[in-house]
């Protein structure tokens, strides 16, 4: 698999600023011979408003990636392949 996108955008303002983050990763499962068994693309998005947004970038990025990971962990097709 690979991370395809993981970035944050800032809109600095007063009295508060906003950060939005996007995360996308591709997960691919292969058998021992290298044959692809499954692939999926998972996405997450998060926004945060705060007066001191610069200190919160890691938080909003983490939330976006967390959503993408949750999406993968709840993908019934992926779970089916793993539990066969």
Question: pLDDT tens digit string along 29-51?
Answer: 999 999 999 999 999 999 998 88
Average pLDDT on 62-74 reads 97
- Return the sign of the alpha-carbon dihedral for residues 46, 7, 78, 40: positive
5 neighbors 42 (Cβ within 8 angstroms): no
Q: Residue 13: helix, strand or coil by DSSP?
A: coil
Average pLDDT on 64-84 reads 94
What per-residue confidence (pLDDT) applies to 50? Answer: 80
What per-residue confidence (pLDDT) applies to 56? Answer: 84
In whole angstroms, what is the distance from residue 47 CA to residue 59 CA? 10
Contacts of 28 (CB under 8 A, 6+ apart): 1, 36, 38, 39
43 neighbors 69 (Cβ within 8 angstroms): no
pTM: 0.85
**Percentage with pLDDT > 70 across the chain:** 100
């Amino acid at each position: 698999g690979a991370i395809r996108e993981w970035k944050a955008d800032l809109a600095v303002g007063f009295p508060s600023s906003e950060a939005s983050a996007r995360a996308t990763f591709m997960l691919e499962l292969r058998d021992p011979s290298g044959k692809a068994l499954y692939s999926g693309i998972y996405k997450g998005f998060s926004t945060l408003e705060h007066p001191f947004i610069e200190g919160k970038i890691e938080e909003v990025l983490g939330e976006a990636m967390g959503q993408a990971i949750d999406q993968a962990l709840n993908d019934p097709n992926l779970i089916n392949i793993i539990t066969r």
